[in-house]
Structure 1
Amino acid sequence: MALVTMKYEMSKAEKGRYAVPAFNFFTLDNLIGIAQGAANKKSPVIAMASVGAMKIMGEHTTVRMCEGVASDFGIDMILHLDHCTDYDMICRAVDNGFTSVMIDASKLSYEENVELTARVVEYASKYGVSVEAELGHVGGKEDDIVVSEREALFTVPEDALRFVNDTGVDALAVAVGTVHGFYKSEPKLDFPRIEKIHELLPHMPLVLHGGTGVPDDDFRKAIAGGVRKINIGTELKVHGVFDVSKQGYAQPGDDPRSVSKLVIAKCASIVEEKIDVMGSANKAG
């Protein structure tokens, strides 16, 4: 199997009315756990590399690593560059073989967001690479983009329609009440807003960022309303990698190989749980 585009998987998700889970990774163990969970559930999966992770792993290494893991586990995987503000970095990712990229110009004015996003779409589309963009502000912290919960601005449905028409993006991240990182209180998603955006853009895959800590029932409601990609980052990083590694290395006589096995197993378990909620099991191929 191989790396595929997000546009390909999103079109299937829209027809089947499910969401494709997207997980951040920053180590090989982390990535293998994601692939193992997807393979066990026969689900499509999106492996997301953040800008911070890319500065460590590098574009070329990341692509080759994902190609190898997808082949070893016999799955179709989308390799996605997450929350990038740098046009040149996005171009390098496209050149090296990423199949999906996100340009995050949400902190800019509407006009500047459109201009930069349209440039990315123009470049990426030459190579068949999918483009995600963001309109509105998702609260919390994501690499170098910081927006406090109080200042977070929800996506205006009519602006979303105009933005998609102005840019030609393949997927749209919307601000509807989620935040990046762990929640300080139970999240309150604006489901009518999701439904309205989907009503205006019935064929545009909507993306929900800040999936860690969102109740399963809220995921299901968001998917019913039109969300087709849900990002999970913090949960996998903290519970799938940090906690397990700390516990593993605390055991006398343990070595990195045994800790790697624990990380892979825990990440796979988290991935499988999310796949069941998002309805993407048995949707691969």
Structure 2
Amino acid sequence: MPLVTTSEMFKKAYEGQYAVGAFNVNNMEIIQGIVDAAKEENAPLILQVSAGARKYAKHIYLVKLVEAALEDSGLPIALHLDHGEDFEICKSCIDGGFTSVMIDGSKLPFEENIAVTKKVVEYAHERGIVVEAELGRLAGVEDAVNVNAKDATYTDPDQAVEFVERTGVDSLAIAIGTSHGAYKFKGECKLDFARLETISNKLPGFPVVLHGASTVLPEFVEKCNQYGGKIHGAQGVPEDMLLKAGKMGVCKINIDTDLRLAMTASIREHFAKNPADFDPRQYLKPAREAIKNMVKHKIRNVLNCSNRI
């Protein structure tokens, strides 16, 4: 089975009122853990690569690892560029084997965002590739994305309609209160579901995307801190909110921070309990298993996409 686009995934997700997980990948163990979980849950899967991941692992290594996962699992997998900052990066990924790209022009004025998104859409659609864009700005820090809270803006529903119509984009990441990184909220967690409902009603059948949607599971934060970490006050998006969003037109939920926390918590615990170990396989094997178990939990309890293939 070749890599797929997200078109059919999102159509089924919208009709079934669930979301597909888009998991960020950086190395072999992360890919294996995610893919093994999806295979056991019989779930559709998006593996996404950020600019930071391409810089760290190199484009060609990540593509070949995903191709290996595809052959090993037989799953429908989409390979997606996360937060492409300009046309050239998107073009490179389209030409280099990706089946989906995100052009992130959210930092640009509205008209400039439309212009660059439309340019990417035209190039991608000619080659059978789908495009995600972003309207509104999420706060937080993750890889190359760094937005202060004062610069964050929620997505305007009327602008969302105009943006989709003028660009021909295939999906849209919106800002309703999520944020990047491990420190998403201070105090009570809130998402603007009224805004999401308005956008979904104005764009019926159109797939919406949530970025910055890791839950920052307390068990991993506590384990990191227990074994020498300093991740105090971290707080993510409650799982019941994400489950609700999946019933309101959100077809793709991005998860990165939870992967990092699961892996890091496992490695910290291993070194604390086994200080003589120095073979990377000794600590990466349980780290891979931690990712697998966390992703299975997400598929079942947050995305609601088990047995959706």
TM-score surpassing 0.5?
yes
Task: Decide which moves more: 153-162 or 80-89.
Answer: 80-89
| 1:217 matched residue in structure 2 | 240
Q: Aligned letter for 2:206?
A: M
Aligned residues of 1:178 and 1:187 also touching (Cα < 8 A)? no
Aligned residues of 1:84 and 1:90 also touching (Cα < 8 A)? yes
Q: Aligned letter for 1:247?
A: E
Q: Deviations over 1:20-49 (max 9, x none)?
A: 011111111011101011011000111111
Q: Are 2:266 and 1:244 aligned?
A: yes
- Equivalent pairs, count: 283
Distance 1:88 1:7 in 2: 23
Instruction: Tell me how far 1:2 sits from its aligned partner.
Output: 3.3
Instruction: Tell me how far 1:254 sits from its aligned partner.
Output: 5.4
Q: Aligned letter for 2:245?
A: A
Instruction: Tell me how far 1:262 sits from its aligned partner.
Output: 0.9
Distance 2:294 2:100 in 1: 23
Instruction: Give the counterpart of 1:271 among 277, 288, 295.
Output: 295
Instruction: Tell me how far 1:80 sits from its aligned partner.
Output: 0.7
| 2:2 matched residue in structure 1 | 2
In angstroms, what is the RMSD of aligned CA positions? 1.3
Q: Secondary structure at the match of 2:79?
A: strand
Instruction: Tell me how far 1:278 sits from its aligned partner.
Output: 1.2
TM-score normalized by structure 1? 0.95
Q: Aligned letter for 1:136?
A: G
Q: Secondary structure at the match of 1:245?
A: helix
Distance 1:184 1:56 in 2: 29
Aligned residues of 1:2 and 1:75 also touching (Cα < 8 A)? no
Aligned residues of 1:23 and 1:47 also touching (Cα < 8 A)? yes
| 1:282 matched residue in structure 2 | 307
Q: Aligned letter for 2:11?
A: S
Q: Aligned letter for 2:200?
A: H
Q: Which runs of 5+ in 2 are unaligned?
A: 215-235
| 1:169 matched residue in structure 2 | 169
Q: Aligned letter for 2:303?
A: M
| 1:27 matched residue in structure 2 | 27
Identity of aligned residues (%): 42
Aligned residues of 1:59 and 1:92 also touching (Cα < 8 A)? no
| 1:253 matched residue in structure 2 | 277
Instruction: Tell me how far 1:230 sits from its aligned partner.
Output: 0.5
Task: Decide which moves more: 125-134 or 146-155.
Answer: 146-155
Q: Deviations over 1:41-81 (max 9, x none)?
A: 00011111110111122222221210111211221111111
TM-score normalized by structure 2? 0.88
Instruction: Tell me how far 1:141 sits from its aligned partner.
Output: 1.9
Task: Decide which moves more: 196-205 or 3-12.
Answer: 3-12
Distance 2:5 2:279 in 1: 37
Q: Aligned letter for 1:262?
A: P
Q: Secondary structure at the match of 1:207?
A: strand
Q: Are 2:192 and 1:205 aligned?
A: no
Aligned residues of 1:22 and 1:232 also touching (Cα < 8 A)? yes
Q: Which runs of 5+ in 1 are unaligned?
A: none
Instruction: Tell me how far 1:132 sits from its aligned partner.
Output: 0.4
Distance 2:278 2:194 in 1: 51
Q: Secondary structure at the match of 1:23?
A: strand
| 1:102 matched residue in structure 2 | 102
Instruction: Tell me how far 1:3 sits from its aligned partner.
Output: 1.5
